[in-house]
Structure 1
Amino acid sequence: MNLNLLPWNNWPLQIESTKINQNFLKLPQMIPGNLLSKGTPILFVLLWSTGFIGAKLGMPHAEPMTFLSLRFLIAICFLVPLVWWFHAPWPSNPSDWLHAGIVGSLVHGGYLGGVFVAIKGGLPAALAALIVGLQPLLTGILAGPLLGEMLTRKKWMGLFLGFLGVWMVVSEKLPEENSFGMDSIFFASLALVSITLGTLYQKRFATKLDIRTGAV
């Protein structure tokens, strides 16, 4: 009888493997909270800004909704393992699923769809970024009557300076001659309205949803 084949000979390896898996699952809790709070906005800005570049590069080769469908499919392939890793809770009742669907339709469907269709129609990516860059200002204007949140003078100044910074960056890249029609402006404006309403709706009805599963 070969004693090396006995099951308890592999127990140390199995125990060590179990410890590694448990430590791997605990990695999210090991990340310092201040690192997450400071790193998440930076990551958001990088992903948000590069979206216009991706749209400009991809639109000559694909239809807007086809491009977005592939983009969402790739994103799901990354997000689902992250949801499992973080043990993030899914919506627990039909109303939460409905709220998540409405927010997703506005923020992802209306906003991204409008931007991509506008750029496909010839709107420069810089001008598209400038139009949707009005979103913080528009949200601040509507947050008072819709959510009862009044912004302080410092916050208004910060929003204005933020938009001014966007304008200073993209203004030099705007074309002197228009190579696009009013339909492109319409879809870019639709994107602006969609992400604004989506943000306000999420604040009003979907604050209890976990952002990780909500993104899926």
Structure 2
Amino acid sequence: MNVLLSVAFVICWSSGFIGAKLGAGSADAVTILMWRFLPLALVLGAFAVVRARAAWRGLTARDLLRQCVIGALSQSGYLLTVYYAIQLGVSSGTTALIDGTQPLVAGALAGPLLRQYVSGRQWLGLCLGVAGVLVVTSADAAAARGVPLWAYAVPFLGMLSLVAATFLESRARRTVAPSVAMTIHCGTSAA
């Protein structure tokens, strides 16, 4: 069952940019995301009631609140900005590229926030990666007609939201079962 849930997660997550591009012309970003998360939250909720009840035992209100915040940041905050940027006219490829800098930003912030320091060689790689994103994004912004420049900051904000969720999760004292975390994240995002 875990393999099926993992495959479903990968399909749902990786189809996001395609769904955003297809849906941006016909519906608002919030509506698209509601229809993305509501069925998934219902399926995960049913699974939680029928098969994963034991995984919910022992969760405190603090655990639940932390997972709600992580879900709001990692799914709602991240995906809403991705869909909104595409709705504004930023190409899905550029949006994906900007959001793909998440590991670069997380690596740069790992030292100050987690005391996991980056070597000089790693900093060089991080800077080259950011420079590449800036070159491609600048070229896309120059070629785009009718897309406001501030629209390119929208996926960057989403990427920062995902970074914040990553650090919040890494600082948790207690590990929550993935099936429970995903149910809470999707329920929060659906709401």
Of 202-211 and 105-114, the range deviating more from structure 2 = 202-211
Q: What is the Cα-based RMSD across aligned positions, in Å?
A: 3.3
Alpha-carbon distance change, 85 to 196 in structure 1, aligned in 2, over 3 angstroms = same
Distance across 2 between alignment mates of 1:94 and 1:64: 31
TM-score between the two structures when normalised by the length of structure 2: 0.75
Distance across 2 between alignment mates of 1:80 and 1:134: 32
| Runs of 5+ unmatched residues, structure 1 | 1-26
Distance across 1 between alignment mates of 2:155 and 2:148: 11
1:147 is aligned to: 114
Structure with max Cα Rg: 1
Deviations 1:132-167 (A, max 9, x none): 00001111111221112235789x49x86xx69x97
Question: Structure 1 residue 67 and structure 2 residue 51: aligned?
Answer: no
Map of 1:99-178 to 2, 5 A cutoff?
99-150=66-117, 156=122, 177-178=143-144
Distance across 1 between alignment mates of 2:18 and 2:55: 33
Identity %: 30
> 1:82 Cα shift?
3.2
Alpha-carbon distance change, 145 to 88 in structure 1, aligned in 2, over 3 angstroms = farther
Counterpart among 129, 134, 157 of residue 190 in structure 1: 157
Question: Structure 1 residue 210 and structure 2 residue 161: aligned?
Answer: no
**Contact 1:100/1:206 (CA < 8 Å) preserved in 2?**
no
Counterpart among 54, 70, 74 of residue 19 in structure 2: 54
| Runs of 5+ unmatched residues, structure 2 | 184-191
Name the structure, 1 or 2, with higher relative contact order (CA <8 Å, separation 6+): 2
Distance across 1 between alignment mates of 2:59 and 2:174: 14
Distance across 1 between alignment mates of 2:64 and 2:81: 24
**How many residues in Structure 1 have an aligned counterpart in Structure 2?**
172
Question: Structure 1 residue 82 and structure 2 residue 47: aligned?
Answer: yes
> 1:86 Cα shift?
4.0
Query: Which amino acid is 2:55 matched to?
Result: P
Distance across 1 between alignment mates of 2:149 and 2:141: 15
